[in-house]
């Protein structure tokens, strides 16, 4: 009987944890029509945190509304972006992506920039309060251009991070090499700006972004409380 109770509690805790995380994440794949119209849509699990449902957008500039969260549920989140063009890390003669499956697709197409001093990428995301009830959120920016040795700055809300590509993407995500992460942001909207300043020519592309809710301590305590209860039941056997 105790085993049945423990298994039931485990199922409830894990289901709540998975559902909570999914409801608090919105993921966008840019350049989904690359390479050269062939397409690199993400249709399954991809990214550093293993998100299953992605919003695939195409074109150098555009907008999209009612973005879905990681559970596939429509939200009030919208995105608007502008860039000089799209390009690809594979299929256009600059082969810089040896991954497979959905991660290959995520890190293939991207919105690109001009060279040093040229136009960067601008991405505006709004309506986050409709999808993320947590008091703060992180933003992951995925970066994999067609040629290594090129890079630039990525800025949100006055915070700047830099990344220059060093190696082809092989399917394993490493912070500072394949993506940058802005932590504990707040507000219903944010703007991401990229500034190309490294390489010949410089580039500061964006393959995709993820907005991930950061739960308050009380929410984490509830989850660990459930796990602790499982341990207590096990010790009483």
Give the orientation angle of helix 2-23 with respect to helix 217-235, to 10 degrees.
160
Write out pLDDT tens, residues 98-157.
999 999 999 999 999 999 999 999 999 999 999 999 999 999 999 999 999 999 999 999
> If you average pLDDT over every residue of the chain, what do you get?
88
At residue 13 the predicted structure's pLDDT band, cuts being 50, 70 and 90, is very low
Say which residue, 53 or 236, is predicted with more confidence: 53
**CA-CA distance, 57 to 59, in Å (whole number)?**
7
Strands 122-126 and 78-82: antiparallel
Enter the CATH code of domain 25-214: 2.60.120
**CA-CA distance, 211 to 102, in Å (whole number)?**
19
Say which residue, 218 or 107, is predicted with more confidence: 107
pLDDT of 22? 56
Q: What would the DSSP string read from start to end of 186-226?
A: -SS-EEEEEEEEEBTTB---B-EEEEEEE--HHHHHHHHHH
Say which residue, 213 or 5, is predicted with more confidence: 213
pLDDT of 237? 52
**CA-CA distance, 22 to 180, in Å (whole number)?**
21
Say which residue, 95 or 6, is predicted with more confidence: 95
At residue 217 the predicted structure's pLDDT band, cuts being 50, 70 and 90, is low
Write out pLDDT tens, residues 40-62.
999 999 999 999 999 999 999 99
pLDDT of 14? 39
pLDDT of 31? 98
Does position 17 have pLDDT exceeding 90, yes or no? Answer: no
**CA-CA distance, 119 to 110, in Å (whole number)?**
15
pLDDT of 23? 61
pLDDT of 16? 41
At residue 18 the predicted structure's pLDDT band, cuts being 50, 70 and 90, is very low
At residue 223 the predicted structure's pLDDT band, cuts being 50, 70 and 90, is very low
pLDDT of 118? 95
Q: Which residue has the tokens 């959120």?
A: 137
Beta bridge partners of 197: none
Does position 220 have pLDDT exceeding 80, yes or no? Answer: no
Q: What is the pTM of this model?
A: 0.85
- State mean pLDDT over 176-185: 98
Domain spans of the chain?
A: 1-24+216-237, 25-214
């Amino acid at each position: 009987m105790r085993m049945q109770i423990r298994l039931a509690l485990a199922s409830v805790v894990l289901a709540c944890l998975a559902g909570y995380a999914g409801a608090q994440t919105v993921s966008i794949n840019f350049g989904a029509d690359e390479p050269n119209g062939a397409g690199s849509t993400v249709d399954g699990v991809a990214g550093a945190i293993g998100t299953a449902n992605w919003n695939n957008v195409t074109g150098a500039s555009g907008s999209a509304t009612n973005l879905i969260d990681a559970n596939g549920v429509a939200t009030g989140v919208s995105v608007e972006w502008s860039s000089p063009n799209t390009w690809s890390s594979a299929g256009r003669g600059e082969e810089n992506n040896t991954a497979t499956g959905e991660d290959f697709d995520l890190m293939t197409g991207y919105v690109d920039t001009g060279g040093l001093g040229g136009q960067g990428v601008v991405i505006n995301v709004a309506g986050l309060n409709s999808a993320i009830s947590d008091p703060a959120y992180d933003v992951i920016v995925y970066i994999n251009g067609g040629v290594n040795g090129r890079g630039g700055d990525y800025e949100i809300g006055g915070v700047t991070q830099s990344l220059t590509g060093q190696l082809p993407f092989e399917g394993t995500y490493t912070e500072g090499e394949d993506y940058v992460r802005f932590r504990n942001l707040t507000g219903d909207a944010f703007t991401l700006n990229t500034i190309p300043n490294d390489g010949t020519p410089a580039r500061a592309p964006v393959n995709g972004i993820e907005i991930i809710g950061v739960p308050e301590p009380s929410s984490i305590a509830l989850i660990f409380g459930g796990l602790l209860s499982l341990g207590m039941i096990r010790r009483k056997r």
